[in-house]
Amino acid sequence: MEKEESGSKKPVNIKDLTICEATARMLEKARRDGVETAFDRALNMKACPIGADSACCKHCAMGPCRLNSRDPYGKVGVCGATIDTIMARNFGRMVAAGAACHNDHGMAMLALFREVANGNNEDYKIKDPHKLEDVARSVGIEVEGRSIKEIALDLYKELERTYTQVEGEIPFAKRVPEKTLETWRKHGIVPRGAMREIMELMNRTHMGVDQHYENLTKQCSRTALADGWGGSMVATEICDILFGTPTPVSAEVNMGVLKESEVNIIIHGHEPNLFESMLVSVNEPSLVQAAKDAGAKGINLVGMCCSGAEMLSRHGIPHAGNFMSTEAILVTGAVDAMAVDIQCIKQGLVKVAECYNTYLFTTNPRCHIEGAPHIEFNEHDPRACTDEIVIKAITRFKNRKAPIDIPNIKNIGIHGFSHEYINYMLGGTFRGSYTPLNDNIINGRIRGVAGVVGCTNPRVRQDWVHVELVKELIKNDVLVLQTGCSQIALAKAGLYTPEAACLAGPGLREVCETVGMPPVLGMGSCVDNSRILVAASQMVKEGGLGNSIADLPVAGAAPEWMSEKAICIGQYFVASGVYTVFGVTFPIIENTKFHKLLFEGLEQQGFGKWGFTPDPYEMAKMMIAHIDKKRKALGLDKGKERVLVDMAARREMSAAA
């Protein structure tokens, strides 16, 4: 996995950069074409060792102060800040930035929902009224005998508090298992509105404010929870209400989804409203005709990164690849336009797009990129933007000059497992519940559940850590739930088919074969990690696996993480009670008090804890050992008699519940 030191003359073998065959082929071509990508820049840019260890404080002009990670307590900053304060502050600012991203995104989706609910926006509508009622009920809103509009407006008002509430608990705290909530209350970390929490964390990480790593960690948790159970959860639920709740759908993933004979348009980013409107534009008969007049067979719309993962889950829209493939795909020469909104958009895309004469458009007022033309997306007139992008893409198709080279690789799989669908899938329409999942964990067929999520990162071999980790987990009967770029990595590796059950251990394989599901369930984008939180709460509420999320035999991982959002996600999983292991690198020095708190202390306080290793096999071992520890604590370590539960017995069980 280790790649060559920067400064080395010998070119690095592309197979060491990625296991994604399509990306590798495009990187070879980029080399031949003299085009640079993030993979090259990562090789030429040695990661700053002081920054990587978080031993630098640049929060004021008395510094920047640099401490020595080999002798962390040998020095303090000019103001006297210790290494623990400096690391906790830096960590806190990462959490604040990650939480800000998801909350700003969620707030934008909620604003759209308000406009739809009050009739000011007719370009979108409430597609899933059942989900609207379910979500409304879950936060205590009366739904019986009321109109969709009344419920929706009440829900808007209630969920706005997720962001703006000055005092008191956010609405979705009602979904948290009681004992988990008790732990949060005891430590004073139940989130208020996200704006308040992020603001307070930015204040406390300023020079001369909070200078105790333990107290800072509390605000890190509170802010992160305002993301997971706040902004992200609202984003997921509102997008389901507006655009539809995912149910399993067969879809294609990988660069082979591009079509040489069609106008290819890629949407890359995070907010599904742009993508939903683009879906309308590419089906507009006059635009389809214009494409045909230009000599194309049609218009081919595909996604990348997280909004791509949402569209894949909701509508089966093909997905072309994850974060580290966004530059490589432009090298095919087949992309007529790429439109981006916010988050994870590399500035390097501008140059690559230029080299292949591809249109790269920014669309969101929060994200312009120097050198990329901007066509603003306004949700009150969405087609003005999306139609224009289609027209531009058709022009580019007509004038294609560069030779086209599309790697002919596609992986078909099943995506779109919402927590509602897991409920239905395992329990059936009449007895939809998490009982069968809990039963199978209790009887040991399923050893535990792992969430494997997050980015890809050019500092490690793309997709390799994700794929090896997940294979190890399912081989050991651990059911894997996924989101984001990790989901796409595994889809490309062919694990999203029911046939992949043959890679699972005997227990998990039996469950997969009975239900007809893959051993790896894709739940959507990174904000959809909130679906994993809801699934975990359901498992607790179902009974038999302890009283809090911290009791469950579950673990999480982001093996190739790179973004501040990932750190925030990690912290909200830890604060919710989940052991969470990161790969690549961890921005904390070992053998310091702050490290000990994150990696051990939090667990003793009733939360989860952090873990770290760049090695996927070691990571799997750590996660499985944790799952086994939790099984033991629940008394599930001794092999249980397998009781065949028939329908009559099930009816009795649910009557007793």
Query: Which chain residues interact with ligand XCC by CB under 6 A?
Result: 270, 305-306, 322-323, 344, 454-455, 484-485, 525-526, 563, 565-566
Q: In whole angstroms, how close is the CB of 617 to ligand XCC at the nearest point?
A: 22
Tell me how far apart the alpha carbons of residues 83 and 333 are, in angstroms, rounded to a whole number. Answer: 49
386 vs 563, beta carbon nearer ligand XCC: 563
82 vs 343, beta carbon nearer ligand XCC: 343
Q: What values do phi and psi take at 359, rounded to 5?
A: -80, 125
Q: In whole angstroms, how close is the CB of 230 to ligand XCC at the nearest point?
A: 17
308 vs 448, beta carbon nearer ligand XCC: 308
Q: What's the 3-state SS for 138-164?
A: HCCCCCCCCCHHHHHHHHHHHHHHHHH
344 vs 620, beta carbon nearer ligand XCC: 344
205 vs 525, beta carbon nearer ligand XCC: 525
Q: In Å, how far are 55, 124, 432 from 652, measured between CA atoms?
A: 59, 44, 15
192 vs 270, beta carbon nearer ligand XCC: 270
Cα angle vertex 297, ends 294, 302, to 5°? 105
Helix and strand element counts for the chain (H, E): 26, 14
Q: End-to-end distance of the chain based on CA atoms, in angstroms?
A: 50
Q: In whole angstroms, how close is the CB of 240 to ligand XCC at the nearest point?
A: 18
Token representation of residue 355: 């080299």
CA torsion sign for 311, 24, 529, 157 is negative
Q: What is the Rg, in whole angstroms, of the alpha carbon atoms belonging to the chain?
A: 24
Cα angle vertex 384, ends 374, 233, to 5°? 75
Q: In Å, how far are 70, 207, 210, 215, 224 from 204, measured between CA atoms?
A: 27, 8, 5, 10, 15
531 vs 565, beta carbon nearer ligand XCC: 565
CA torsion sign for 127, 130, 135, 136 is positive
Distance of CA 288 to the CA centre of its chain: 33
Q: In whole angstroms, how close is the CB of 563 to ligand XCC at the nearest point?
A: 4
Residue 634 CB neighbours (<10 A)? 16
Q: In whole angstroms, how close is the CB of 102 to ligand XCC at the nearest point?
A: 10
Contact, 188 vs 219, CB < 8 A? Answer: no
Q: In whole angstroms, how close is the CB of 387 to ligand XCC at the nearest point?
A: 26
19 vs 290, beta carbon nearer ligand XCC: 19
Q: What's the 3-state SS for 80-95?
A: CCCHHHHHHHHHHHHH
**Helix axis angle, 232-243 to 272-282, nearest 10°:** 20
Ordered DSSP codes for 543-599:
SSS-SSGGGSSEEEEETT--SHHHHHHHHHHHHHT-EEEE-S--SS-TTSHHHHIII
Q: SS3 of 647, please?
A: helix
What secondary structure letter does DSSP report for 639?
P
343 vs 476, beta carbon nearer ligand XCC: 343
171 vs 583, beta carbon nearer ligand XCC: 583
Q: In whole angstroms, how close is the CB of 608 to ligand XCC at the nearest point?
A: 20
Q: In whole angstroms, how close is the CB of 276 to ligand XCC at the nearest point?
A: 17
Q: What values do phi and psi take at 57, rounded to 5?
A: -120, 120
299 vs 344, beta carbon nearer ligand XCC: 344
Q: In whole angstroms, how close is the CB of 569 to ligand XCC at the nearest point?
A: 8
Tell me how far apart the alpha carbons of residues 620 and 548 are, in angstroms, rounded to a whole number. Answer: 23
Q: In whole angstroms, how close is the CB of 307 to ligand XCC at the nearest point?
A: 8
Token representation of residue 605: 């306080």
235 vs 622, beta carbon nearer ligand XCC: 235
Q: In whole angstroms, how close is the CB of 219 to ligand XCC at the nearest point?
A: 22
Q: In whole angstroms, how close is the CB of 527 to ligand XCC at the nearest point?
A: 8
193 vs 484, beta carbon nearer ligand XCC: 484
Q: In whole angstroms, how close is the CB of 463 to ligand XCC at the nearest point?
A: 12
Q: In whole angstroms, how close is the CB of 257 to ligand XCC at the nearest point?
A: 18
246 vs 484, beta carbon nearer ligand XCC: 484
Tell me how far apart the alpha carbons of residues 143 and 133 are, in angstroms, rounded to a whole number. Answer: 6
CA dihedral 251, 255, 260, 264 (to 10 degrees): 70
Tell me how far apart the alpha carbons of residues 320 and 333 are, in angstroms, rounded to a whole number. Answer: 14
